[in-house]
Amino acid sequence: MRFRTTSTITLAALLAGGTFWVSAETTSDQFSPYVDAKGTISRPTAFRDEWVHIGSWFVREDDQASGPGVHDVYAEPSAVKSFKQNGQWPDGATLVKEISSIREGQKATGFAQWAGEPGVWFVMVRDRKNRFPENAAWGEGWGWALFTQDSPEVSLTKNWKGEGFNNCFGCHVPAKDTEWVYIEGYPTIRDSANYGN
């Protein structure tokens, strides 16, 4: 479980006889630093630099694709460590899927395709205690959020069973038996998965 530090951290270091003293005040009881008291989810900003890249999806652009692009998925190091230990996402775990445009061209190794500019971010936060029953952006043990280039700071998800591109439920139904996460796309953790308990 992760806690948000909302008070000022006081650092007092005394190096004497090989002893290093640290004093810190942490009084918040929020289960995730990306969720406020009403269940509003914010988009993590340092996931590329500080989180674990657990896998990628490549969705070709065609008439059937609702989300074409390169889908790179990240999770917090503590959540990945916990998943590897017990095969399930811990409470408060946060996943970020960044969807980028597809670029392509001839390279020395052959014709290649790669991620271009990011345009959409999906964020999921694990909630095993149903903390926000009145917030329709939460359901089936997760909080769901969608951010775009036009709205990078405010989630467009009002109802996780909403309409169109914002319909999280419709896309995740096939992954219901694996806690609503497409685990097969994440080689970093998929061999640890254990949903039988």
pLDDT for 26-78, tens place per residue? 334 578 999 999 999 999 999 999 999 999 988 887 656 667 889 999 999 99
**24 has a pLDDT exceeding 90:** no
CA 92/CA 35 separation, integer angstroms: 9
Query: Residue 67: which of 104, 115, 99, 96 has the closest Cα?
Result: 99
Which pLDDT band, with edges at 50, 70 and 90, does 5 fall under? very low
Which pLDDT band, with edges at 50, 70 and 90, does 139 fall under? very high
**Mean pLDDT over the full length of the chain:** 82
Q: Kindly give, in sequence order, each residue whose CB lies less than 8 Å from that of residue 20, ignoring residues fewer than 6 positions away.
A: 13, 14
Say how many C-beta atoms besides its own lie within 10 A of residue 127's C-beta. Answer: 21
**150 has a pLDDT exceeding 70:** yes
SS3 call for 84: helix
Which pLDDT band, with edges at 50, 70 and 90, does 143 fall under? very high
- Higher confidence at residue 26 or residue 101? 101
